[in-house]
Amino acid sequence: MWTLDKNEIYVNLSFSNTAYNEGYDSASEITILPVQIADRTIQLFAQYGLTEKITLQLKLPYKILVSEGDLAVFNSIEGNYLETGNLNYFGNIEAGALYKFVDDKPMVSISFFVETNTMDHNYLTGLQTGFNSFGFKPGAGVGWGFEKSWFHYYLGGELRTHNYSSAILSNLELGYKPVPYLYAAANLFVKRSLDAGGDCDCTNIYTSLYLNDQDYFAYALKAGFNIDKWGFNFSYNGAFSASNLPAEGIMTVGLQYKGNIINKPEDSYLITPKF
């Protein structure tokens, strides 16, 4: 994970959207859900270079969820009951810091983030805006930048409370910048649950929202362009395989700003790709 210069800020305001009626079950099989889910997220992502080596980071998501469908047949089965509805609330707010351990090629950084239990849920609809737990995420990253390209690898952990399973996280990014104001990147993500949790919010198995014991082998395709200190970016996230997750990709568009809060003549118009 890349760090910023001292007094430098990076802000990205994004909107994500997906709609689905299928989900990956615990055996990684795609199953049809009894409802259609519309999942929209507005997220503020911000970083601040506290020193030349330490960067502070914040993620502030707000979720807009809607479920629709005819549940007459589903609810006629003994033991089943679900309602349709909507739920708007914050997701899991995350804050932490990155420390640039080695400032060379390769760059090496370590990080630690805390994900708060700032969420809401409705057991009658199975809608949930985040994990019903706190998360603690230690990790380390290695990055190497070239004239027109870069790569980065991250390996970390996800330790969870409230009887959720912890997990191992991994991310590989390859990026290319043909001209100074345009870039594209591809990511591979892996999450492997340690299968040690027993949490069950029960009705969210019918919506595939923030289930316990998630696994995935996923990808993201990203691109963006910059004009001075401002930029526009978009991405598509999907999965090759997964368990306990929605079976649909996510489109995201974002507006970003990167600059130094203390103006310097050498401020660059280049914006390091971050999402």
Question: What is the tens place of the pLDDT at every residue in 22-31?
Answer: 999 999 999 9
Confidence class for position 275, pLDDT limits 50, 70, 90: very low
Q: How far is C-alpha 18 from the chain's CA centre? A: 14
CB atoms within 10 A of CB 105: 9
**Alpha carbon distance 79, 66 (integer Å):** 23
Average pLDDT, the chain: 92
Q: What class, spelled out in words, does domain 8-260 have in CATH? A: mainly beta
In the chain, where the domains are located:
8-260
CB atoms within 10 A of CB 20: 19
pLDDT at 202: 78
In the predicted structure, residue 272 carries a pLDDT above the cut 90: no
Beta strands in the chain (DSSP E): 8-24, 30-49, 54-68, 85-90, 94-102, 107-115, 121-122, 127-128, 135-145, 149-160, 167-179, 182-193, 215-227, 230-243, 245-246, 250-260
Model pLDDT for residues 71-86, shown as the tens digit of each residue: 999 999 998 999 999 9
Weakest mean pLDDT among 88-97, 173-182, 198-207 = 198-207
pLDDT at 201: 62
Model pLDDT for residues 111-160, shown as the tens digit of each residue: 999 999 999 999 999 999 999 999 999 999 999 988 899 999 999 999 99
